Chains A and B, each alone.
Chain A
Amino acid sequence: MTHLRYEILRTLRNPAFAGIVLALPLVLFYAIASAERHKTFDGTSFPLYFMTAMAAYGAMYAAMAPGARFARDRATGWLRQMRITPLRTRTEFTATVAGAYLLALPALVLLFLAGASLGVRLGATQWLEMAGLLLVGLAPLVVIGFVLGYLLSSDAVAPAFAGVVVLLALLGGAFGFQLATSGPVFDVMKGLPSHWLVQAGKTALGGGGWPAEAWIVVAVWTVVLIPVAALAYRRSAIRA
């Protein structure tokens, strides 16, 4: 528990880190949606439509950031000092996951509040369902953050992190438009966790929840990536 407490404390004490992670999607949302607040798109109001997209983007960004921060902690060398203690890998994992969600949750709430400020009105169940599915859909992205943080050097992790987030967001439709709605590109997109993160917002609006396909994609990514992350973790811990 002490480890979790200090993990959270370290996040909160790094206002630039938390601030940028939380503010970036918010700024994007206001910059684009406020001008178009009275338009409709695909049958829904543009702010609502864009809010779901930006919520997915913001949550994704926030959820991956703590994993990526590992690269820096690794570079300082103190992680080696921790690896000679009885600290369990699971404890370290859990704390980082908690840290990731701790950032993702306010990111969502802020986006929802921003949406509400531009006239988005939804029922309580819709808000909750959307938030719930978004949080579930984040799981594989949190693990992607781990893998990046464990595999890459601290120099490489920043551009790699930014690139992966933008790529996943773009292909997933988190920037408010879909690259394709059918064909092979769309098939690839449907296999991405970010796609279903964006859809989490949209399907919740219709009250439909996720199709089975979404649960499968999210589960497969998570289950496949966890051993990859564990492997990367061991690799980073021990000099072969």
Chain B
Amino acid sequence: MSLEVGDFRYCTAWAAACDPRFVTAASDAVAGIVLSRLAKSYGTVHAVRGVDLVIAPGETVALLGPNGAGKTTTIEMMLGLTRPDRGTVSIFGVPPAAARQAGWFGAMLQTGSPLDHLRVREIVTLMASYYPHPLPVAEVLRLTGADQFAGQWTTRLSGGQVQRVRFAAAIVGDPDLLLLDEPTAGLDVEGRRDFWQAMRAMTEHGKTVLFATHYLEEADAYADRIVLLARGQIVADGPATEIKAQVGSRTIRATLPEAAVAALGALPGVRSAERHGDAVVLTCTDADAALPALLAAFPAVRDIEVAGGSLEEAFLELTADETTGPGDAPGAMGVTG
């Protein structure tokens, strides 16, 4: 019982994988969420390939990864909607089915249009009725912004409105664990901001949250911790700032015919350099340091562009079982910050 939540945050996949006793100790100490060697295949597709993850109560974790990384399958196994081929899930010390019966789950799934022949207020009331200690429906409608269309038929909603109804359905039971599968998909900028504002209000009082996203910005802004998932495996796990530095690498492109690649690669803040004809591409760990160094060392440099690296690139680097040039897919994953 001496483990603090704070201690715990950094003792994640690796610790759990290396030392099974750690998992036991963790679940005994704080009874958070423990995924152990979780795996699931659909035919020949290995959706999830051995995921070990410990989430402490009260933590907000982003499950970040490109499409097909296994985010949805992981979440569905946590909810007990998908049966794992191997491995176990423990939710606050019990299996998913028991957690469900206790009313601990709230979730936004990617699929599921609300039941027909009901109004928005009614479907939220219906979902509330399933939980032992639900929040007042009116309050949830207001918090999610669904009060604007509470009298509307569920079949006549826009995509953004459906997403708000899903959000309301997820939180109305006042669950301890919120699992959100790409909760802001289909929302516009304003909708996203409203959503996270409501989430913050909702989770002030120590809820555990795991949300899947493929936006680094979103993960960075709203999660304490980022778990990076690629091809069904965790490839990085740590505080948001750390992961951001790791995958948020920037590239500098410039026209610079005379410089040696080796000299460019040795500049401060530069991880690697490549030459494509007259152009050079520098992949930077710290573009702020690299750019002045580049200008100082090579005054002849022209046509400078600084761009955010794509998440996909970062994943490929981290998983390191495929090689690709750093300039192949710039900025494709919405990484701007």
What are the residues of chain B within 8 A of A183 when measuring CB–CB?
A: none
Name which residue of chain A comes closest to B127, CB basis.
A85
Partner of B112, one of A6, A9, A78: A78
B113 touches A77 (CB 8 A): yes
Whether A6 contacts B118 in the complex (CB less than 8 A), given A77-B113, A81-B107, comes out as yes
| Stretch in B26-34, B53-61, B129-137 with 4+ CB within 8 Å of A | B129-137
Q: Does A86 contact B (CB under 8 A)?
A: yes
Residue-wise, chain B 96-128 has the 8 Å CB interface mask toward A (1 for contact) of 000011110111010111111110001001110
Whether A9 contacts B117 in the complex (CB less than 8 A), given A85-B173, A86-B101, comes out as yes
A3 touches B130 (CB 8 A): yes
Whether A239 contacts B117 in the complex (CB less than 8 A), given A84-B100, A85-B100, A85-B105, comes out as no
Residue-wise, chain A 11-49 has the 8 Å CB interface mask toward B (1 for contact) of 001100000000000000000000000000000000000
Q: How far is the CA of A14 from the CA of B115 in the complex (A)?
A: 12
B115 touches A76 (CB 8 A): yes
Q: Does B214 contact A (CB under 8 A)?
A: no
What are the residues of chain B within 8 A of A13 when measuring CB–CB?
A: 117
B129 touches A237 (CB 8 A): no
Category for how many chain B residues contact A: 20 to 34
Q: Does A2 contact B (CB under 8 A)?
A: yes
What are the residues of chain A within 8 A of B103 when measuring CB–CB?
A: 85-86
B81 touches A3 (CB 8 A): no
B105 touches A237 (CB 8 A): no
B118 touches A76 (CB 8 A): no
Q: Does A121 contact B (CB under 8 A)?
A: no
Partner of B113, one of A14, A78, A239: A78
Partner of A86, one of B80, B112, B132: B132
Number of interface residues of A (CB under 8 A): 24
Residue-wise, chain B 59-93 has the 8 Å CB interface mask toward A (1 for contact) of 00000000000000000100111110000000000
A238 touches B115 (CB 8 A): no
B116 touches A87 (CB 8 A): no
Name which residue of chain B comes closest to A10, CB basis.
B117
Partner of B169, one of A81, A87, A240: A81
Q: How far is the CA of A87 from the CA of B114 in the complex (A)?
A: 16
A6 touches B122 (CB 8 A): yes
What are the residues of chain A within 8 A of B231 when measuring CB–CB?
A: none
B107 touches A10 (CB 8 A): no
Q: How far is the CA of A87 from the CA of B131 in the complex (A)?
A: 8
B81 touches A83 (CB 8 A): yes
Q: Does A188 contact B (CB under 8 A)?
A: no
A78 touches B114 (CB 8 A): yes
Q: How far is the CA of A10 from the CA of B76 in the complex (A)?
A: 28
Residue-wise, chain A 199-240 has the 8 Å CB interface mask toward B (1 for contact) of 000000000000000000000000000000000000001111
Write the nearest CB–CB distance from B123 to chain A, whole angstroms. 8
What are the residues of chain B within 8 A of A14 when measuring CB–CB?
A: 116-117
Whether A86 contacts B125 in the complex (CB less than 8 A), given A76-B116, A81-B109, comes out as no
B81 touches A10 (CB 8 A): no
What are the residues of chain A within 8 A of B173 when measuring CB–CB?
A: 85-86
A78 touches B115 (CB 8 A): yes
Binding site for B on A (CB under 8 A): 1-3, 6, 9-10, 13-14, 73, 76-78, 80-87, 237-240
Binding site for A on B (CB under 8 A): 76, 79-83, 100-103, 105-107, 109, 111-118, 122, 125-127, 129-132, 166, 169, 173
The 10 closest A-B pairs by CB, nearest first: A2-B129, A77-B112, A85-B130, A77-B111, A13-B117, A10-B117, A87-B130, A239-B82, A86-B103, A78-B112
Q: List 5 A-B contacts (CB under 8 A).
A: A6-B126, A78-B112, A78-B115, A80-B112, A86-B100
